Structure 1
Amino acid sequence: MSGTAVAAASAAGAGPFPTLVSPEWLMVNLGSVKLLDASWALPNAGRDVVAEHMAERIPTARFFDVERIADPESQLPHMLPSEAQFAAAADALGISGEDAVVVYDSAGLFSAPRAWWTWHVFGHPKVAVLDGGLPAWKAAGGEVDTSPVDQAALHAPAEALRNPPAATRYKACLDAAQVRSWQQVLDNVSSRAEQVADARPEARWRGEAPEPRPGLKLGHIPGSRSLPFASLLLDGRMKPREELAAAFEAAGVDLSQPLVCSCGTGTTACILALAAQQVQPGTQVAIYDGSWSEWGQLPGVPVATGSGGGGDGDS
């Protein structure tokens, strides 16, 4: 079991709700949590995560569609929806504000932290990520459900979001302090009031490898630090706390200071945010929601390349 995941002995109702839980913990507490499969894949990955969910899932899990439970008007990938839209999706998922929620994904630890952050940023107090996701669950001997999926229930959350009702049972309240816009990030390039950590592979941060989405500039936000999300994981699970702390330190990130996390689309940035909470619970972390899919196409914003943190590009 990962050194950061909460042990099975911790009951879902005992003490502060964890942010990361082990398969053993989930086996003990499966009946007292609402479980969400938040699997998502890059467009060039060749995967169909909906089909994967339909084929097998942890018992009782509903599908949390990261791509569609998002702002339907935005041209950017899976940007945060409005409070009303998210509340409508929560209602369709059958989740109340009092429920304990556990999210997982079929890759191990990839997109589930994005779902964790989304619930957290909308004010849900009890939400955790399953460390290692479906692979770790199966490796620990957990059962999987292969029965047919109700198609109406599968797509109901995203469909409800498109036309949210005037009143919802779930009450979402966006904490704007946990979200950064491109303008805020641009202002920070000059002020350096907040640290910025980039979760993309280092070659993409340097501008030496192509982006998976066409038409984007190559490089990084000036002043940002490279902290690839994969450096925080081991065999699809979060590394022990001491190793996470060392990774942040090696990247030049001080978790006692405000931190903004970025990546390609605002997904793996949330792995950094989740890891920061394992090292220093309650640390101040925000996500640049548009991330490089937005910054990389904006005209006139500075772009740095190579290992330098300054604005050595200005395209």
Structure 2
Amino acid sequence: MRLTSASSIMSSISQRSMSSSARKVPLLLTPEAYKKLPKSSTIPLDASWHMPNSPRSPMSEYLSGPRLPRARRWDLDEVAELAGEKNLLNLTHMLPSKERFVEKCRKLGIKDDTHVVLYDSIGVFSSPRGAFTFIAFGHEKVSILDGGLPRWIADGGEVEVGETKESEGVAASEYKGAEDRSAEFIRSYEQVVENSEKGPEGEVVLDHRPLPRYTAEAPEPRAGLSTGHIPHSLPLPFSSYLNPSSSSVPYTSLKSPAELREVLIQGVGGESAWEAVTKGENGVVFTCGSGMTAAVGWLANEVAKEDGSGAVKTAIYDESWTGYASRPESKIIKGKSPA
């Protein structure tokens, strides 16, 4: 492998940074902020993932490059618990067991005090799911590279190219892990069904799939899966949280904390609904196609909270629509949500 300057690939563009005194490290980092981190205690992780109908292979792209220097591969599907009591449908990239998470961290040389920085090859897409996993298992020193690999390249950061071996030069650690908090971060199928039966009195469920899939006007990317949505869930496409990519800015990035808060407020139904959620016992549950982009909603809420812009307690329906619609007993609503 070799290092090359990404400035030869794309021109530098403007940057935006965020920090928080409430966390050990900022949850969101610009490329410039990442460059200032000490290499001795920081490990970048490539958490790229693509939709089932995409021709792209995140592993092939990681191995050939470009990738961040010293990056190791955090394969969201490979680390997941693909069987067992919590994954009866053998769905991909669901939250792993604590034991499996610890085992993966050890193999990658991650220590209990390592600052883990996750990125993906879209901008902000799958890296939030990786960060969500670390925090669910108590590893607070985790950040996301805002704009991901494309922004890193656009901002002139060095990259590695050429094949590499994930274990090359990596010594296994004695990672122990912190408190397992996954139960409070995840909702099961049974909990989602019970919640939907409560109607407006239950937790607010925000569906992050594109609107046409929520309304059943467009097919699901997973063959044979019904379209529609969970009763009493509300549509909020995950793209609502993002600054979109374009020909001049080839990556997605997270909107400002104030903008994120406004997106969340409108998503739950306006100021009065937001106030009810923030003051009540119920929180917000994010869902999507398979539990991946639901984590973008989690990230948006956490970033708003870090900046003091207000936030609510949240969780992710880990199975999301793939698990819900795969069960013949599930109640599915087609069409728009009630006004």
TM-score (norm 1): 0.87
User: How many Å apart are 1:152 and its aligned residue?
Assistant: 4.8
Match of 2:206 in 1: 197
The alignment status of 1:174 with 2:186, answered yes or no, reads no
Comparing 23-32 and 291-300, the one that deviates more: 23-32
**Where do residues 1-315 of structure 1 align in structure 2 (5 Å cutoff)?**
5-6=17-18, 16-29=24-37, 31=39, 32-55=41-64, 56-73=66-83, 74=87, 75-150=90-165, 152=167, 169-171=175-177, 173-175=179-181, 176-191=183-198, 192-234=201-243, 235=245, 236-252=252-268, 254=274, 256=278, 258-281=283-306, 283-309=312-338
Check 1:302–1:153 CA distance in 2 against 1; reply closer, same or farther (3 A cut): farther
SS at match of 1:271: helix
Single out whichever of 178-187 and 243-252 deviates more from structure 2. Answer: 243-252
Shift of residue 283 of structure 1? 3.4
**Identity rate of aligned residues, in percent?**
38
8 A contact 1:199–1:263 mirrored in 2: yes
Any conservation in 1 of the 2:234–2:337 contact (CA below 8 Å)? no
The RMSD of aligned alpha carbons is 2.5
Letter aligned with residue 252 of structure 1: V
| Divergent runs of 4+, >4 A | 151-154
Query: Partners of 2:22 and 2:42 in 1: how far apart?
Result: 13
Provide structure 2 residue ranges, at least 5 long, that are not aligned to the other structure.
1-13, 246-251
Query: How has the CA–CA distance of structure 1 residues 30 and 303 changed in structure 2, closer, same or farther, with 3 Å as cutoff?
Result: farther
Alignment gaps of 5+ in structure 1: 161-166, 311-315
Aligned residue pairs total 296
Q: Secondary structure at the match of 2:100?
A: helix
1:176-195 deviation per Cα after TM superposition (whole angstroms, max 9, x unaligned): 11110000000100224211
Measure the CA separation in 1 of the matches of 2:38 and 2:119.
13
Distance (whole Å) between structure 2 residues aligned to residue 15 and residue 190 of structure 1: 36
Q: Which secondary structure does the structure 1 equivalent of 2:286 belong to? A: strand
Secondary structure class of the residue paired with 1:29? coil
Structure 1 residues 14 and 148: alpha-carbon distance in aligned structure 2, compared to 1, 3 A threshold? farther
